[in-house]
Structure 1
Amino acid sequence: MSQTLETGYVAVDGGELYYEAVGSGLPLVFIHAGVADSRMWDAQVAHFSPKYRVIRYDTRGFGRSKTEAVSFSNRQDLLAVLDHCKVDRAILIGNSRGGSIAIDSTLSFPDRVKGLVVLGSGLGGFGSEEIPPDLVEPIGKMQAAQEAKDWALLAELEARFWADGPNQPAGRADNAVYEVVRSMTYENYINQPVEAAAQPLDPPAIGRLAEIQVPLLIFIGLLDEADCVEAAKYMAEHVTNAQYVAFPDVAHMVSLEKPQEFNRIIDEFIDRNHL
């Protein structure tokens, strides 16, 4: 039986957010990485929409969403998507920057969150500002490309860094994974000329993990950037109801590299916690 795909835009202060919703039942809301847009979840939409209501959206400044040069809250933007889709409580699933948004949103409006899944996630307040010695060269190349506004080169460098993994050989990840990250990153750079300023959660999440009372599922690829790997371990140790899943041969984009395993583990997580 075919399902009706709902698409549209959610009005927010100084912008509008593109979203898609399909299926019915328990709502799953997917929040993309900073080197992607909502298309990174294609395999998850196909897998989960026959059983659940699957919602994905482009965060402000990414994909088909639009913004003015304003100060804004990613948490309030997510809340606007939930309200527009008439979702009382959802499982939030976020990759990288999207994981950080999911965590911060769980802390900001816990009554709207039923469960939390993060992969290669950032964690507000975690990590050092200093660049590790082994990353000085690749990050320096990315900064130079950004300063030169060489968006094609920057997208290639970022895709190698995040898809293959820092200091991994080019082509370690499947070329399809590299290419989807590269193309989404490039389109974000050329199609989003205006930069809005995201307001950080204050106080940051690192000191508030005990407040997370919903089941938490943490995915990490051990070839990911060191701060992401350490943040995943830290969350596993400091959140009461946390499950930690590590893939030794995967980098930042767990759901793209291991979609079948990723989907299966989420199904088991939902069933085990009676969500």
Structure 2
Amino acid sequence: MAAGLTLRYGPGGGYTGHTAHDYARTMPHLDVPGAALYYETAGHVSAPALVLLHSPIAHLRMWDPQVAALAAHHFVIRFDARGFGKTESENVQFSNRADTLDLLDHLGVETATLIGCGRGGTIALDIALESPNRVMGIVSIGGGPSGFPEIQLSDAEDALFDALDEAFTTNDSERLARLEVALWAVGPLRDENDLDADFVRTATGFTLDNVARAAERPVPLPLDPPAVDRVIEIAAPALITVGEYDLTPALAEYEYLLEVMPQASGCTFRDTAHLPSVEHPAEFQRVLISWLARNGL
């Protein structure tokens, strides 16, 4: 077991290590109704596919530390969702689920394992319910099912959300971005000065990059009915993870998903909040690759 991890595994077998090799990358856009999705791929298109769905405080660059290792034996697909990174969007209604599947169709990929952080995890669960024939496996990092009931926040969490609301109403995008880092990447129970400075700079850079999309207002269409009462139907293997210092709702969603999903394994990453794959990339990579191997994905 990797240091700093608490693991709870469900069904699965042994782990066979992978050897990294050179991989190819492309960087085009895909035109979809009302948007041009920026995406990147790595690895061989004939290999088992992985789709990396980013956090709401980041964009596809959050996965940079893992791509080379994953591409050794997988076809790795990642894209910037509408409102993030280099994707350009009109102010229209859209479906995150449809955008993901449109990209898979464009690349000629029939099935994939979906790996999502935060909102990315929620989208992965939604797709598994709406289009189960397209999903081989699910990895959620601090993401819960759509429709999950509101959870009472701690006083520290409440205070940070109040500051975020104020920054939003005053249209102060840069302050909003830095407050998002304090809330999600640092977490209300940790002191930013105690963390690795490079990690904080990286997380802050993600949110500041997204400021360029602040004027765009695409409206995501929710899954109807939502996933919360339906995740018990998901038959695909799932790895449900969370950071030790993530917010109260994320911790509650983690426990709920492990309790109700029939093929779920769990992992709590220690000494991190909402971005364990960025803050502790090597530990996250070991857990992910081991889980993929055990489940034949």
TM range (shorter): over 0.9
1:44 aligns with 2:44: no
Aligned length: 275
- What pairs with 1:1-275 in structure 2 (closer than 5 Å)? 2-24=22-44, 25-128=47-150, 132-275=154-297
Q: TM-score, normalised by structure 1?
A: 0.95
Residue 191 (structure 1) shift: 3.4
8 A Cα contact 2:157 2:247, kept in partner: no
Higher relative contact order (CA 8 A, sep 6+): 2
Cα distance in 2 for partners of 1:172, 1:231 equals 27
Letter in 2 for 1:4: A
Displacement, 1:51? Answer: 1.8
SS in 2 for 1:102: helix
Q: Secondary structure, in 3 states, of the residue corresponding to 2:192? A: coil
Q: How far did 1:129 drift?
A: 6.9
CA RMSD after TM alignment: 1.5
Aligned-partner Cα distance in 2 for 1:260–1:79:
29
Instruction: Supply the distance in 2 between the matched residues of 1:267 and 1:138 (Cα, whole angstroms).
Output: 35
Counterparts of 2:33 and 2:99 in 1: how far apart (Å)? 9
Unaligned runs of 5+ in 2: 1-20
TM-score when scaled to structure 2? 0.89
- Percent of residue pairs identical: 37
Of 194-203 and 175-184, deviating more is 175-184
Task: Tell me: CA distance 1:204–1:152, structure 2 relative to 1, closer, same or farther (3 Å).
Answer: same
Measured against aligned partners, the alpha-carbon deviations of 1:180-226 in whole angstroms (never above 9, x if no partner) come to: 22111122123342111101111111100111100000111121000
* Runs of at least 5 residues in structure 1 that lack an aligned partner in the other structure: none
Is the 8 Å Cα contact of residues 35 and 159 (structure 1) preserved in structure 2? yes
Runs of 4+ in structure 1 off by over 6 angstroms are none
Q: SS of 2:27's equivalent?
A: strand
Distance 1:53 1:171 in 2: 38
